[in-house]
Structure formats: C-alpha cells, structure tokens
C-alpha cells in the first residue's frame, strides 16, 4: 500500500475528476492510484495538473530527450513508479529500451549523441549535487542548446527531482510490474530484471 492514502474516486473533487478525465481516459491502475493521492489536496492538485499539462505542451526539446532525462533522475531518486513508466510520446519519438539501457553509463554509450550526453550530465549534477554545476557546465550545454532549451532542461530537472522524490516517498508500487515492487534494494530503469513497463498516454 502507498504510504499516503489514495482517495476513492467517489470522494474526489468533481472539478479535479473532470479535469483529469479519470472516468473516461484510459490509464494504468498505478496512475489512478497516484492521482488519488494528489486528490487529497484538490485545490493544489488542480493548480499543479494545470501547470504540469501546460509544461509538457510547451517543451520544444524532443520527447525522447525529455524521457531519458526523466528516467536518469528517477534512478537517482530511486522512484519505482517513475522508473517503471514510459511516456507514450517519447516512444513515438524513438525511445527504445536499448536507449534506456544506454542510460546506465551515458558517457560511454555509442547510442547517445554528444548533445544528449551533455544534457544527461547536467541532469545527474542537478539531481545529486547541483552546487557542482559550474559556468563550464552551462557553456558545454550552450554548445548544443539554445538559451530557451537550457531553461527548459533546467525546469524539467527541477520538476523531476522534486516530484520524483515526492513519488518515492509516497511509494505507490503495488500496481507496478512485480520486479519494481521491491523497495529494499536499489534498482535502475535499465536493470535486466525489469521486462515489463507501464506505458502512460501523453
């Protein structure tokens, strides 16, 4: 069971229920559980999901890159639900499990571009030691990305680091594939035992 209560659907705020289309939109059970946790604070959640939806629509960076950054940060956060999920728009943009496996050691991967490696290095530092980000780190990003894209990348890292940690804290794992449910040992999105994934519509 999650550490925080997932509110039964019949107790949800009606505006939030309509906003998230939980009665009609197809979604995996773990996503419903997670949304039910947020539903305990409906006014904050309506503001949060409005922001989140607008954020994902506004990105100009490729969905493949956004997803690789999200998964790399999920590893640092040890968020099981984050690691188990694959966002459908990223799959449509060419994300494969081979690419996910390349995230184990990004600097050594021949499947990643130099631009992707720079973004992933930035994400690693952002999630684990943000004070180690230097002028040189940002200048390296500027070799590949515009100022707008660097801001987008930074906002994604902030979002995934903070809310990924929240997800790790509430621990909604029981509806995940079995291999992701053991929280007693560290794991990774690229671990060999994780054959099943949860695809989340975009």
Secondary structure in 3-state letters for 115-169? HHHHHHHHHHHHHHCHHHCCHHHHHHHHCCCCHHHHHHHHHHHHHHHHHHHHHHH
pLDDT of residue 134: 98
pLDDT of residue 202: 78
DSSP-assigned beta bridge partners for residue 199: 86
pLDDT of residue 1: 84
CA dist 144 and 115 (Å) reads 6
- Tens-place pLDDT, residues 87-100: 999 999 999 999 99
CA dist 4 and 34 (Å) reads 10
Residues of the chain with pLDDT under 50: none
Give the residue among 178, 171, 190 at the shortest CA–CA distance from 86. 190
pLDDT of residue 49: 98
Please, is 42 exposed, middle or buried when counting C-beta atoms within 10 Å of its C-beta (0-12, 13-18, 19+)? middle
Pair 93, 63: CB distance under 8 Å: yes
DSSP state of 82: H
Crossing angle (nearest 10°) for helices 114-128 and 135-142:
150
Q: Which CATH number fits domain 59-200: 3.40.50.261, 1.10.510.10, 1.20.950.20, 1.20.1290.10?
A: 1.20.1290.10
Q: What is the pTM of this model?
A: 0.96
pLDDT of residue 25: 86
- Tens-place pLDDT, residues 161-170: 999 999 999 9
Distance of CA 3 to the CA centre of its chain: 20
pLDDT of residue 122: 98
């Amino acid at each position: 069971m999650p550490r925080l209560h997932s509110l039964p659907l019949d107790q949800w705020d009606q505006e939030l229920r309509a906003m998230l289309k939980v009665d009609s939109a197809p979604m995996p059970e773990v996503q419903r559980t997670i949304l039910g946790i947020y539903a305990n604070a409906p006014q904050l959640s309506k503001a949060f999901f409005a922001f989140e939806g607008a954020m994902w629509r506004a990105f100009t960076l490729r969905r493949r890159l956004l997803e690789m950054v999200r998964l790399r940060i999920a590893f640092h956060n040890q968020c099981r639900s984050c690691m188990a999920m694959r966002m459908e728009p990223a799959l449509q943009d060419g994300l494969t499990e081979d690419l996910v496996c390349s995230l184990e050691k990004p600097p050594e991967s021949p499947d990643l571009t130099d631009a992707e490696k720079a973004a992933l290095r930035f994400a690693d530092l952002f999630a684990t030691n943000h004070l180690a980000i230097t002028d040189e780190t940002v200048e390296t990003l500027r070799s590949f990305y515009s100022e707008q894209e660097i801001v987008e990348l930074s906002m994604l890292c902030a979002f995934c680091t903070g809310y990924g940690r929240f997800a790790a804290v509430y621990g909604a794992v029981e509806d995940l594939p079995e291999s992701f449910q053991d929280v007693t040992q560290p794991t990774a999105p690229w671990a060999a035992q994780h054959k099943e994934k949860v695809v989340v519509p975009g």
